[in-house]
Amino acid sequence: MDSRHSDPDPGALAPVPVKILIAGGFGVGKTTMIGSVSEIQPLRTEEVLTSESVGVDDIDGVEQKGTTTVAMDFGRITMSRELVVYLFGTPGQERFWFLWDELAYGAIGAVVLADTRRLKDCFPSVDYFERRGTPFLVAVNCFDGARRYLPGVVRQALDLDSDVPVVLCDARDRESSKQVLIELVSHVMRLVSRQSSREPATTSAGRATPG
């Protein structure tokens, strides 16, 4: 990985960070999912916004000349000395799109958590990632007592492209959350290899040898 600064490189000691986003409506279990796989208790970082920074178009509903604190929870998984994965929960209020932009910048992909009782809460996240071209999947968080839908039904209700994976999960369960992330990375890898196979000058299979 190259570094933007050419002077003594902190990169020699710092791992490569990989960002994955956990999105979805309020109370759907984003921080729960982060906490279930993170090696640390989810941390909270905050941004203080004035009405000015929210932007003219979105000023409705924001207290006049007020300040708002937007919280973003995140967790960390250290893969090795060279590689660390950060899981960032998106802020619940979708009007803070510019914060989403910052979060999505450089992210390899996103999990959109869905609650079948309030499926429409995840529409804005799905729209956002579709528009931005960020690879994502939909993970249906099966709360206790929540009606279980078949993934196909959820796919139809959300009008997802056929290649967007829909999986069921329990955000409280480490193994289940881990499987969701594995499914997401597989999805991203499929997209990347499809993209690179479209490029010219790729004459044979067997590229992308690991290591």
Sequence-distant (6+) residues with CB within 8 A of 91 are: 70, 71, 72, 99, 100
Joined tokens for residue 177: 């959350």
How far apart are CB 90 and another protein at their closest, in Å? 12
How far apart are CB 159 and another protein at their closest, in Å? 26
How far apart are CB 154 and another protein at their closest, in Å? 23
How many residues make up the chain in this entry?
211
How far apart are CB 204 and another protein at their closest, in Å? 16
**Cβ nearer to another protein, comparing 47 with 58:** 47
**Cβ nearer to another protein, comparing 156 with 196:** 196
How far apart are CB 166 and another protein at their closest, in Å? 19
Task: List beta partners, residue 75.
Answer: 87
Give residues in contact with another protein (CB under 8 A).
1-5, 7-11, 13-19, 37, 43-48, 50-52, 65-67, 69, 72, 74, 76-77, 79-80, 83-86, 88, 102-103, 105-108, 174, 178, 181-182, 185-186, 188-189, 192-193, 196, 208, 210-211
**Cβ nearer to another protein, comparing 3 with 156:** 3
Under a CB-based contact definition with an 8 Å cutoff, are residues 105 and 38 in contact?
no
Chain-centroid distance, C-alpha 207: 28
**Cβ nearer to another protein, comparing 119 with 164:** 164
Q: How many Å apart are CA 194 and CA 87, to the nearest integer?
A: 25
Looking from the CA of 177 toward its CB, the CA atoms found within 13 Å total 21
**Sign of the CA dihedral 123, 126, 130, 131?**
positive
**Cβ nearer to another protein, comparing 33 with 107:** 107
